[in-house]
Structure 1
Amino acid sequence: MIEAFIHHIKNKSILDLDKKYLLACSGGLDSVCLGTLLHQSGFSFEVAHVNFHLREKESDGDELFVKNLAEQWNAPFHVHQADTYSFVEDHKVSTQMAARDIRYEWFEQIRKERNLAGILLAHHEDDQLETIFLNLLRGTGIEGLYGMAEKRGKLIRPLLPFSRAEILEFATAMELAWREDSSNKSTDYKRNKLRIDILPKLLDFAEDSRANLFTSFDRLKDTGRAFTGLFDQWKSQAIKDEEGIQTLGYSDFLHLDGATSLIYFWLRSYGFNSTQAQEIYQSCLLGESGKLFESASFVLNNDRDQLILAPKSIGFADIELSSNDLGFDIPEGKYELLKTGSPSEIDKSPSNAMLDLEQLTFPLKIRQWEEGDRFIPLGMKNSKKISDFLIDLKVPLVKKSGIKVLESDGKIAWIIGYRIADWAKQTAATRKTLYLKKR
């Protein structure tokens, strides 16, 4: 196996003889074999072991065993005494998830402190098979078939192409000792149940079951990569982004094959799941304009013939502007406050406002609009509810909650970014102007 290991390392350029690595070693068969292969191949490494204190004396025995191994390999030894049960209680996660988070966080801490090139993990082909099936059982879709990568960031898995049988044969031939984790025999854990009860039956189905499974997975992964490329091209053409608000027109996805997948891959990084993607697609088919979908930080609005994605509005504290202020900042942008004489040309951009300064009373206030607010839109004589005004402009729901107004002595002078009030406008009699200009 040593020859195959070295060939794999060189062929894939996975490790560098001139660099030093951190070996994550539990003391089990796999990590003992990886450490032995690294030592025999001349790689420089340090050893890291986490004592989770989950199996009393057995855990302490594992720690001592790995420490002795590190001495045999002439490798520096690092150990972390983890309070796993407290971590479970504090973070409300399973014991397995707690152990995973604890070790990966600590491994990375040691790697940085020691300026090491990467963290070596002893996952092998059988672990990969288990991971892929667990992903499929969780409903992760085609990306679940990717399994674990040989290199991802600073995590490196040099044994991934080798089966557990090959590793065991090598360990037996080398007369290696290792520790057996008694918890690995318990079928209370999903991974153990899959490894002990289910996968052996599947692999016994035919002599070439294992080879055919990995061939199928490779083909499906390649299909996934092709889809990703096509998705990126579609996204660049179909998704419009303006100041952090994204829009997707019905015509760009509704009648395409795989529309639900397109929606999911667009929205997943914003916290939406595959079930929501299906619900969003069905909502579009039914024409449910006005329907909202939410993730932890974003909201999606089915608005007539398009989907609109925006960050959720955060609480906004009122801003008070004195006559001496030179500007203000709001989430929508930074504004300058300029005082001028009567301008020769009016700035008609809704992003800016030119108001008759002598009609205003300081301090001015900037606040979020509220239900029941009214103002007199420019060009009109009668007041109108802001809610009705926004409906007339067909402002999407995702934008409405974040809209702010400029208020003078209790009267609304400007719906920021949309319309000034008629009473505050420039007229022929205007002598002084307050120019609120977006930078």
Structure 2
Amino acid sequence: MFPKFKEHISNKMPFLKGKKLLLACSGGADSVVLAHLCVAANLDIALAHCNFNLRGEESDGDEDFVRELESKIGVEVYVKTFDTKQYVETHRGSVQMAARELRYQWFDELLKTKGFDYVLTAHHADDSLETFLINLSRGTGIDGLSGIPEVNEQVVRPLLPFSQEEIVEYATSESIEWREDSSNASSKYLRNKIRHQIVPILKELHPTFLQNFLNTQNHLQQTNDLVVNNLNELKAKLFEPRDGAIKINIAELEQLQPLESYLYGLFKDYGFTEWEDVKALLTAMSGKQVVSKTHLLLKDRDCLILSEIKNRVSQTYPVYIDETASESPITLKLENVKNLENQDQNVVFLDKEKLNFPLVLRNWEKGDYFYPFGMKGKKKLSKFFKDEKMDVISKEKQWLLCSDNEIVWVVGKRADERFKVEDSTQQIIKITLHT
């Protein structure tokens, strides 16, 4: 197995050579064999072991076993203990998902703090087959049938071409010890049911079933690559960056057929799952929107606006005459002048004596109102935004210049009537927005 492994690294993963690698090691045959193979191939590895405290003394025994590998194979070992059950109670979800989240959060931390380049995991061909069957049973697209990726950003899986049988045979032939996880024998988990009850029957159907599956999965991956390339070309054509968001012309979207498949391919990476709602957005009234956990998709007349959802924190910045705050998100110049000049949307003239300094630049808030210049009476800012046909993205980026929390200027849009220059005005201040 070692010559095949060494050849695989040289041909498919040469980028691992000379890099600092963190190997996820449970103590089972797969990860222990991977550790031995990496050491034999002169790869620079350290081991990371997670003790999830789910199997009592057995979990502690796994930890002790991995710690002993530090002296046995000459590599550094990192160990972290988790209160997994408490995490499940706090965050809900399954124990398996909790363990995965805790594991990769810690790996990310080690990558950043210890300078590792990649995380290696010991997933093998049988794991990929099981994942394929799980996804197939739940319903999935071609990406779900393409198997576990060999490289996913900083996570690398060097054992995917190898079967579990090959791994165990190598461990036995090289007298490599490992730990058995008793939970792997339980059939209460879906993966274990597939592993113990379905996969053996499939392998009986044909002596080379697993290899045939790997070949088929390789073909599916190549087909998926073609799809992804096509979608990336479409995104480059259809997705127009605009003020930190993305604008997509609806008419061009509707020309794509089959429309449902294209909508899925174009928007799935943004967390959307309600595909009927996404499709309905194309013919909905302006202002309708669909929200995922990470993104917002808004109908804005003849376009869709795609934007990332960020936790909105109200920000304020003091503004002084003849001085610009260095941290201010926009540049305002305030200066004393003697006369009114030609005004445009980026310039306002105000009665200085009606203002209390420093003025404050802040985000808009629900309930804000002002007295629009040239009009009688006050108007809610939300109504003003609607009349101006401002979309959600534009509203979030709108700044207000205030005096004692009274709106002086909806910056770049409309000044407030209460602060206008009158015949009795003694001092005039000019405020310019530099874009």
Q: For this structure pair, what is the TM-score category when the shorter chain's length is used for normalisation?
A: 0.7 to 0.9
> 1:280 maps to which residue?
278
Following TM superposition, by how much is the alpha carbon of 1:168 offset from its aligned partner in structure 2, in angstroms?
Answer: 2.7
Work out which of the residue numbers 268, 281, 295 in structure 1 matches 2:292: 295
- Tell me how many residue pairs correspond in the alignment: 430
In the alignment, structure 1 residue 435 sits paired with structure 2 residue 431: yes
Separation in 1 of the partners of 2:129 and 2:53?
Answer: 29
Asked if the contact 2:351/2:420 (under 8 Å) is kept, the reply is: no
Return closer, same or farther for 1:189/1:427 CA change in 2, 3 Å cut-off.
same
User: How far apart are 1:383 and its partner, in Å?
Assistant: 5.2
Matches within 5 A, 1:340-355: 340-342=337-339, 346-348=342-344, 350=345, 352-355=346-349
Note the alpha carbon deviations across 1:56-94, whole angstroms, 9 max, x for none.
Answer: 232333334444555443444444444433443444453
CA separation in 2, counterparts of 1:239 and 1:20?
A: 37
Counterpart contact for 1:52–1:84, Cα < 8 Å: yes
Distance of 1:37 and 1:405 partners within structure 2: 62
Alpha-carbon distance in structure 2 between the residues aligned to 1:418 and 1:329? 23
Greater shift, 385-394 or 231-240, is seen at 385-394
CA distance in 1, matches of 2:116, 2:315: 47
Counterparts of 1:155-194 in structure 2 under 5 Å?
Answer: 155-194=155-194
Relative distance call for 1:14 and 1:100 in structure 2 (3 A) is farther
Answer with 142-151 or 418-427: which moved more: 418-427
Matches within 5 A, 1:120-139: 120-137=120-137
- Alpha-carbon contact 1:337-1:437 (below 8 Å) kept: no
- Displacement of 1:243 after TM fit? 2.0
Confirm or deny: 8 A CA contact 1:119 1:154 kept in the other structure: yes
Which residue of 351, 358, 361 maps to 1:357? 351
Residue range with higher mean Cα deviation, 211-220 or 178-187? 211-220
Paired residue type of 2:351: L
2:303 counterpart residue number: 306
Contact persistence 1:299–1:312 (CA under 8 A)? no
> TM-score, normalised on structure 2?
0.79
1:24 deviation in Å?
Answer: 3.2
- CA drift of 1:185 comes to 0.9
Taking the aligned partners of 1:89 and 1:423, their CA distance within structure 2 comes to 55
CA drift at 1:159:
1.4
Alignment partners' CA distance in 2, 1:429 and 1:38: 84
Aligned pairs for 1:243-254 (under 5 A) are 243-254=243-254
Superposition pairs for residues 22-171 of structure 1, below 5 Å?
22-41=22-41, 43=43, 45-107=45-107, 118-137=118-137, 141-171=141-171
How far is 1:160 from its partner? Answer: 1.2
Quote the offset at 1:7 in angstroms.
Answer: 1.9
What are the superposed Cα offsets for residues 212-271 of structure 1, whole Å, 9 maximum, x if unpaired? 43333323322322232232332233223332243222112023124445545555555x
Residue identity in the other structure for 1:416 = V
Distance in 2, Cα, partners of 1:398 & 1:112: 33
SS in 2 for 1:274: coil
Aligned to 1:333: 330
Which amino acid is the alignment partner of residue 330 of structure 2? Answer: G
Identify which range, 100-109 or 193-202, moves more after superposition.
100-109
Distance 2:32 2:311 in 1: 52
Given that residues 187 and 193 in structure 2 are in contact (C-alpha distance below 8 angstroms), is that contact kept between their aligned partners in structure 1?
yes
Give the fraction of aligned pairs with identical amino acids, expressed as a percent: 33
CA distance in 2, matches of 1:36, 1:411: 69
Cα 1:5–1:416 shift into 2, 3 Å: same
Contact 1:353-1:414 within 8 A present in 2 as well = no
Query: Letter of the aligned partner of 2:10 in structure 1?
Result: K
- Distance in 1, matches of 2:23 and 2:317, equals 55
Instruction: Tell me: CA distance 1:138–1:327, structure 2 relative to 1, closer, same or farther (3 Å).
Output: farther
* Pick aligned residue for 1:417 from 399, 412, 415: 412
Secondary structure of the 2:282 match is helix
Q: Distance in 1 between matches of 2:354 and 2:411?
A: 16
Structure 1 residue 401, shift from structure 2 partner: 6.5
8 Å contact kept, 2:22–2:48: yes
**Secondary structure of the equivalent of 2:210?**
helix
Q: Work out whether residues 353 and 436 of structure 1, in 8 Å CA contact, stay in contact via their aligned partners in 2.
A: yes
Say whether the 8 Å CA contact 1:254–1:281 is kept in structure 2. no
